[in-house]
Structure 1
Amino acid sequence: MAEESTEHVNFEEALKELEALVERMEKGELALEESLQAFERGIALTRHCQTALKAAEQKVEILTREGSEDRVEPFEPQQPE
């Protein structure tokens, strides 16, 4: 597995790839070298997702500011009906 950049991967694609990597690794069918490469890719994808989430969190904070006072409102996801 060649090392691939996460630069042009969106959050959803990165998360989907990460989930697939974890599934393959959990099956225990990869050779040691393949496992190490998958682990390395997984770390890169995890960092990419964390960065994307942090950026989204910062945008939400900026959008929810009131006047000159910073106010962060907790995110409350909608419950399925």
Structure 2
Amino acid sequence: MTRKANVKHFEDKLSELDSLVKQLESNQLSLEDALKAFEKGIKLSNDCQSVLTQAEQKVQILLENQDGEHLQTFDPETNQ
């Protein structure tokens, strides 16, 4: 996935998570629907956290190499 697609993917998930939170806060969902929304929200939250962790690792790599050395390409699959 390209960086732009990854950012778009993240923004879409974050927007969906925000929508779910608003639905849950409205207290208008049945218990069953609220549980489904909560479960989906947990998954979205975990997905967003994963993207943020990868971005943080990429920033760390860049900061460690800021003295002009060759920058390493971060591979989220191997976390390197």
TM-score normalised by length of structure 2: 0.70
After the TM superposition, which of the residue ranges 20-29 and 57-66 deviates more from structure 2? Answer: 57-66
Corresponding position of 1:27? 26
Separation in 2, partners of 1:10, 1:51: 12
Separation in 2, partners of 1:56, 1:15: 15
Corresponding position of 1:62? 61
Structure with higher RCO (Cα < 8 A, 6+ apart) = 1
1:18 maps to amino acid: L
Separation in 1, partners of 2:43, 2:49: 10
2:58 maps to amino acid: K
Deviations 1:16-51 (A, max 9, x none): 000000001100000111000000000000000110
2:60 maps to amino acid: E
1:54 maps to amino acid: T
- Post-superposition shift, 1:10? 1.2
Corresponding position of 1:48? 47
Corresponding position of 2:10? 11
Corresponding position of 1:36? 35
Separation in 1, partners of 2:58, 2:19: 29
Instruction: Name the structure where helix makes up a greater proportion of residues.
Output: 2
1:43 maps to amino acid: I
Query: How many residues are treated as equivalent by the alignment?
Result: 59
Gaps of 5+ in 1: 1-8, 68-81
Q: Give the % identical residues.
A: 47
SS at match of 1:10: helix
Q: Which runs of 4+ in 1 moved over 4 A?
A: none
